[in-house]
Structure formats: C-alpha cells, structure tokens
C-alpha cells in the first residue's frame, strides 16, 4: 500500500513520475481542472467580496473519486500540478474538495513544483514541499471572475446582435479594441506615391544592387521621385551620365559583433516554430507538452525540456555550467565566451522564478534521440536544443561594407552588405559558415 499520494494534471506525466518515485508512491492525474463556476447568474457575487460558487466538472468526477479513494489509504498528499497560477488553482480546488469530504483528516499535505520532469528534479521537489501560494491562487480566481463577469453579461448581447456561439470577455474585448484602433489608423492613412531607382552592378564577377542616393547634386529622400514621369526622366538622365559604367569612389569597411538570441520563452518559441516549422501556436504547445511530460528514449522515460509556459529568459546556474562543459567538449573552448551569458527578462511582470525553455540535458542531442521522437517532436526539440546551445556560444563577427558609386559628376548610388566572418552553427560541428547579405 502506497503511503504517499502524488497528484499531477496529466496521465502521461503521472506515468513518468511514478517510475521515478517507486512503490511507496501512488501517482494519479486530475485531468486538468476539477471544478468550475456554476454556469448561471450569481456564480460570482461582487456585493459579497466577490464570493464564488463552484460545482464539480462532470467529466472529471470519476478522477476526483479515485483521488479521494486513494487518499484514504495514504498518509501524505503531494499536490504536484503545473508550476503556474492555473496549476496552483487546481491544487487548491483539490485541497478544498478533499477537505470537505473529510479525506485530509490527520494527513500531511505539501505542495511540490518542478520545472522539468527528470529524476533529480522530482526527488528534490518531494524532499522540499511548500505551502500553497495564496497569491497565485488569487490571481487565477480573479482571472476566472473577470471572465465570468464580463463574458456572462456581454456574450448574450453578441448572440442577440450578431450570432449565437460568439464569446466576449477578458481577452476578446481588449483584442477587439486593438483591431478597431488599428482599422481607424488604416483609414486615416494617406497614400503617397514614391519611386526608388536601383542599379544592377557587377564587379569582378560579383553582382550586387546599388540604390540611388544623390540626383542632380541633391540627396534623394523617400518622396523625391513621386510619380512615373519623374522616375523615367531620372532614369534617362542617369543612363546618359553613366554610359554603362559606375565609378567606385569610396569603400567603407567596418566590423561589428552580433550576440546570440536569448533562450526561448513561450512566445518566442511559438514565433520561431511558426516561422521555421510552419506550426500553429496550438500545435507548438501540444508538441512541447509531450516533450515536457516525458518520452521513452530507449528504456528510460525522461522529460526532454523544461516547463513550456514561461515568460522568463533566466537559466539555472547548473544548466549553464552543463552547457559550457558540453560546448567545450563538443565544439572547442574557442567557441565559448570568457564568462557565461546571462539574460534578463524585460517584462516587469515576468515570473523570474521560472526558467526559459531549454533541454533538461544538452547531452540529449537531437541526432542521438531522433529515432525515439515523432517527426514533429524531433523538429521542435531540435529548434529548442540549438537555440539553447547557441545562447551560450561566442558572438558572430560581421564584416560590413558600404560602397559609394559615382554616376557622372552629379549622381551617386550606394550598396551595402555584410559578411559573417565567424558564425558557429551548433547543428553542424566544425563548420564556420559565411553568409553574404546585400542591400
């Protein structure tokens, strides 16, 4: 008989954690939220300190009953739902239900949280149980009350005026306002015509594009050439002056550094997954959840990434140490900066106790575990792994070049571009790539 009962949100996570904790622990899933507001008027009472009335979510009643039954046989309850306000609220609701049913009498209760599902993180969390955070609970309750108070009164108006099934609330209302304000800005916009003139040049077999910067001795601004007639007149003047050739009058060479991007937050991961993999935000989070909860990588089930709902770019010191060790071993110490790179979240409301999204161990290289992942899992993990490794590597060194080209005595063009002198790609060990970008 298990003396300890651990409650998590998903059955996949429960299965992984059970393997780590052993026979003295029973691990059950709540399957998400277990109760919600009554679906009728008066569920939130603003006149009575915003008192809230709840009911069990019907589809999860059987899971609650299973938890109550298991609790009667256990001595200790560990509430191990996700480490965010929703997870804290789920733990609080479970506590309230179990307490009302008399299942917690003479029992020990602890709140445990972890940001990665690895044996080390789970065992450390179990040895350091905390109390429920009333601040996180209140944050979620306030959010749910706002959803109800705004949506319960506003949604029926949409059903009446537009069509049934639409919802309005805490998110939709300000989002609609942003759209309306943007549309108003678009309507106020006054379109103005302008033309740009470019020259296709070739020097020593390398072609590039140069943009007109001076015409008739005057600097060319955005609206200097504002109709087709002026553009064609300028083209004629320039063609006559050039006689098929442009003369290089000045070459300006500089060198600059470009530091790697910060590790992923939820929003930046979604953006990159959309841009590079074509994933929707929902698909990205679904696949990330699978990587977080645990994958069997050949006899060992392990969470491959840290918790994927975060707005922090902070990294744990032990994670940074492991990354620097790995980079030195795999790519050479010349690809390590002298000091670890530390990133700070700009948002005032960021939860700095959380970490950025990173591999639980950089030694789980994408190529080594590819066979154990689905195609989508492999692609997203590869994206996260490379971004994490890159954030602790040396900067890219860029050679920038600007060339002024004379077109007769009164006209000139300019071309600019950059060559990445040193850019190490963690996906291709031993390769320093060179990239030309012209404008």
Same fold, 4-139 and 266-390: no
CB–CB of 286/424 below 8 Å? no
Confidence of residue 429 (pLDDT cuts 50, 70, 90): very low
Question: In this predicted model, which residue has the larger pLDDT, 234 or 435?
Answer: 234
Structural tokens at position 329: 């071993």
CB–CB of 209/198 below 8 Å? yes
Confidence of residue 153 (pLDDT cuts 50, 70, 90): confident
Domain 4-139 sits in CATH at 3.40.50.140
* pLDDT greater than 60 at residue 352: no
Domain boundaries, the chain: 4-139, 198-259+396-438, 266-390
Domain 198-259+396-438 sits in CATH at 2.70.20.10
Structural tokens at position 309: 């709902």
Q: Provide the annotated active-site residues.
A: 307
The β-bridge partners of 93 are: none
d(CA 8, CA 28): 6
> Across all residues in the chain, what is the average pLDDT?
89
Q: CATH fold of 266-390, please?
A: Topoisomerase I; domain 4 (1.10.290)
Mean pLDDT check: name the lowest of 44-48, 157-161, 303-307. 157-161
- Which backbone phi and psi does 168 adopt, to 5 degrees? -135, 145
The set of residues, in sequence order, having a beta carbon less than 8 Å from that of 45 and lying 6+ positions away, is: 51, 52, 53
For tokens 């492999």, what's the residue?
Answer: 378
Length of the chain as a residue count: 439
pLDDT confidence of residue 159: 86
d(CA 14, CA 330): 35
Task: Name the CA radius of gyration of the chain, rounded.
Answer: 30
Q: What is the mean pLDDT of residues 383-387?
A: 97
Question: Is pTM beyond 0.95 here?
Answer: no
For tokens 């050949």, what's the residue?
Answer: 298
Mean pLDDT check: name the lowest of 103-117, 143-157, 422-436. 422-436
- 375 alpha-carbon distance from chain centroid: 20
Q: What sign does the CA torsion over 264, 268, 269, 272 have?
A: negative
CB–CB of 341/295 below 8 Å? no
Instruction: Tell me the C-alpha to C-alpha distance, in Å, between residue 270 and each of 360, 364, 384, 412.
Output: 19, 22, 11, 44
């Amino acid at each position: 008989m298990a003396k300890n009962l651990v409650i998590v949100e998903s059955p996949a996570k429960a299965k992984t954690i059970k393997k780590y904790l052993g026979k003295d622990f029973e691990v059950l899933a709540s399957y998400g939220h277990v109760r919600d507001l009554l679906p009728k008027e008066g569920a939130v009472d603003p006149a009575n300190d915003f008192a809230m009335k709840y009911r069990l979510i019907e589809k999860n009643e059987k899971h609650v009953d299973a938890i109550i039954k298991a609790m009667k046989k256990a001595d200790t309850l560990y509430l191990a739902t996700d480490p965010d306000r929703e997870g804290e609220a789920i733990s609080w609701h479970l506590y309230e239900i179990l307490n009302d049913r008399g299942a917690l009498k003479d029992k020990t209760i602890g709140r445990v949280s972890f940001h990665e599902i690895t044996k080390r993180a789970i065992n450390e969390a179990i040895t350091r149980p905390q109390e429920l955070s009333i601040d996180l609970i209140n944050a979620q309750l306030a959010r749910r009350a706002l959803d109800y108070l705004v949506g319960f009164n506003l949604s029926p108006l949409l059903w009446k005026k537009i069509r049934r099934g639409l919802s309005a609330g805490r998110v939709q209302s300000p989002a609609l306002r942003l759209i309306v304000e943007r549309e108003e800005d678009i309507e106020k916009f006054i379109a103005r015509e302008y033309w740009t003139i470019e020259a296709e040049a070739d020097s020593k077999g390398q072609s590039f594009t140069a943009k007109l910067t001076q015409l008739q001795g005057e600097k060319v601004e955005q609206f200097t050439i504002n109709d087709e007639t002026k553009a064609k007149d300028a083209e004629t003047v320039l063609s006559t002056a050039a006689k098929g050739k442009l003369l290089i009058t000045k070459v300006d060479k500089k060198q600059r550094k470009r530091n790697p991007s910060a590790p992923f937050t939820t929003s930046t991961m979604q953006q990159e997954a959309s841009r590079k993999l074509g994933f929707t935000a929902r698909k990205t989070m679904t696949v990330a959840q699978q990587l977080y909860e645990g994958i069997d990588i050949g006899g060992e089930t392990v969470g491959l990434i840290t918790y994927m709902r975060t707005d922090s770019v902070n990294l744990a010191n032990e994670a940074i140490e492991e990354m620097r060790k790995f980079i030195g071993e795999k790519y050479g110490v010349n690809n390590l900066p002298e000091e670890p790179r530390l990133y700070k979240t700009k948002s005032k409301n960021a939860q700095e106790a959380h970490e950025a999204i990173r591999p639980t161990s950089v030694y789980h290289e994408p190529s080594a575990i590819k066979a154990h992942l689905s195609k989508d899992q492999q692609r997203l993990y590869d994206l996260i792994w490379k971004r994490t490794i890159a954030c602790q590597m040396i900067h890219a060194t860029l050679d920038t070049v600007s060339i002024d080209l004379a077109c007769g005595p009164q006209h000139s063009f300019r071309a600019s571009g950059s060559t990445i002198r040193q850019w190490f790609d963690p996906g291709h060990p031993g390769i320093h790539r060179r990239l030309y970008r012209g404008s």
